[in-house]
Copies of this chain bind each other. A is one copy, B any other.
Amino acid sequence: MQKRTITIKDIAEKAGMSCSLVSFVLNGKSVQYKVNPDTTKKVLAAAKALNYKPNLAAQSLRSGKTKTIGVILSDISNPFFAEIARSIEDIASKRGYTVVFGSSDENPDKLKNLISSLSARGIDGFIIVPSENSEKTIKSLAKEKAPIVLLDRKINSLKLSSVVLNNFEASKKATELLIKRGFKDIELFSYNLKISNILERDSGYETQMKASKLDKYIKINKISYDKLSTEFEDVVLGALKSKKGKKAFLFATNSICLNALKILHKHGYKVPQDVSILSFDYSDIFDFYSEGLAYLEQPISGFGEAAANLLFDNLNGGSPSIKTISLDATLHIKNI
A-side interface residues toward B, CB under 8 Å?
Answer: 1-2, 53-58, 60-61, 66, 75-79, 82-83, 85-86, 89, 93, 98-103, 117, 119-122, 143-145, 258, 261-262, 265-266, 283-285, 287-288
Q: Are B285 and A288 in contact (CB under 8 A)?
A: yes
3 smallest CB-CB distances across A and B, nearest first, come from A57-B60, A82-B82, A77-B86
Residues of B within 8 A of A262 (CB): 284, 287-288
A79-B78 Cα distance, complex, nearest whole Å: 7
Closest chain B CB from A328 CB (angstroms): 22
Are A143 and B77 in contact, with the CB atoms below 8 A?
A: no
Q: How far is the CB of A119 from chain B (nearest CB, A)?
A: 8
- Residues on B with beta carbons closer than 8 Å to the beta carbon of A100: 98-100
Q: Which B-chain residue is minimally distant from A75 (CB atoms)?
A: B86
Q: With A55-B122, A99-B100 known to touch, is A144 a contact of B2 (CB < 8 Å)? A: yes
Q: Is A93 in contact with B89, judged by CB distance below 8 angstroms? A: no
In whole angstroms, how far apart are the Cα atoms of A199 and B90 in the complex?
30
A122 with B284: CB separation less than 8 A: no
Which residues of chain B have C-beta atoms less than 8 A from A86's C-beta? 75-77, 103
Which residues of B sit under 8 angstroms from A85, Cβ to Cβ? 76-77, 101
**What is the distance, in angstroms, from A190's C-beta to the closest C-beta of chain B?**
20
28 contacts between A and B (CB under 8 A): A1-B143, A2-B144, A55-B61, A55-B122, A56-B120, A56-B121, A57-B57, A57-B66, A60-B60, A75-B86, A76-B76, A77-B79, A77-B86, A78-B82, A79-B79, A79-B82, A86-B103, A89-B101, A98-B121, A99-B101, A101-B101, A262-B284, A262-B287, A265-B288, A266-B287, A284-B284, A284-B285, A285-B285
